[in-house]
């Protein structure tokens, strides 16, 4: 079985909302990341990925995104604890709120960065670079 994780490539004014993960986080602590989290088991339900993403974004950085969420891509990886994860990234546009580390045990810092700044940042892992490149391509088609 997989853990299902969702992430939001949130953009506003040609910048991406990027977090620096808390160093306490067991996976990718101290690295830059999109905002997101694990899908909870809810039984029979609709729009679980979208609802989970909106909830995680609000819990972690205190902002709301617009209703339209566009699929960017999905990947899989194995954590240091040998947990198998499926990760799904959505393109989101900021609706309201000022982003801040609302959940400091998960989020160290909140940054608004251009694509170039994300791609050149020393704390950007390869998978974040890939997500930003794909989200940027999707955004430019809109």
Question: For domain 3-141, is the CATH number 3.90.79.10?
Answer: yes
Mean pLDDT of 84-97: 97
Say what the pTM is: 0.93
First-to-final CA distance of the chain: 35
Cα Rg of the chain, angstroms: 14
- How far apart (Å, rounded) are the C-alpha atoms in residues 85 and 116? 28
- How far apart (Å, rounded) are the C-alpha atoms in residues 128 and 60? 18
Banded pLDDT at 44 (limits 50, 70, 90): confident
Residues in the chain: 142
| Backbone dihedral angles phi then psi of residue 131, each to the nearest 5 degrees | -60, -45
Banded pLDDT at 43 (limits 50, 70, 90): confident
Structure confidence at residue 79 (pLDDT)? 86
| Backbone dihedral angles phi then psi of residue 129, each to the nearest 5 degrees | -55, -45
List the domain boundaries for the chain: 3-141
* pLDDT per position as a tens digit, 91-141: 999 999 999 999 988 899 999 999 999 999 999 999 999 999 999 999 988
Beta bridge partners of 76: 86
- How far apart (Å, rounded) are the C-alpha atoms in residues 44 and 65? 25
* pLDDT per position as a tens digit, 3-27: 999 999 999 999 999 999 887 776 7
Mean pLDDT of 23-33: 80
Of 46, 51, 70, which Cα lies nearest the Cα of 141? 70
């Amino acid at each position: 079985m997989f853990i299902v994780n969702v992430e939001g490539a949130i953009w506003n004014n040609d910048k991406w909302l990027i977090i620096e993960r808390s160093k306490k986080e067991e996976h990718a602590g101290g690295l830059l990341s999109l905002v997101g989290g694990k899908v909870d088991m809810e039984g029979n339900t609709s729009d679980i990925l979208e609802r989970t993403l909106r909830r995680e974004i609000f819990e972690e950085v205190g902002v709301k995104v617009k209703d339209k969420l566009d699929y960017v891509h999905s990947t899989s990886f194995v954590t240091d604890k040998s947990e198998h994860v499926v990760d799904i990234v959505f393109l989101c546009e900021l609706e309201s709120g000022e982003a801040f580390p609302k959940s400091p045990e998960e989020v160290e810092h909140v940054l608004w960065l251009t694509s170039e700044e994300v791609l050149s940042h020393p704390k950007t892992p390869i998978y974040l670079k890939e997500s930003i490149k794909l989200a940027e391509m999707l955004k430019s088609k809109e």
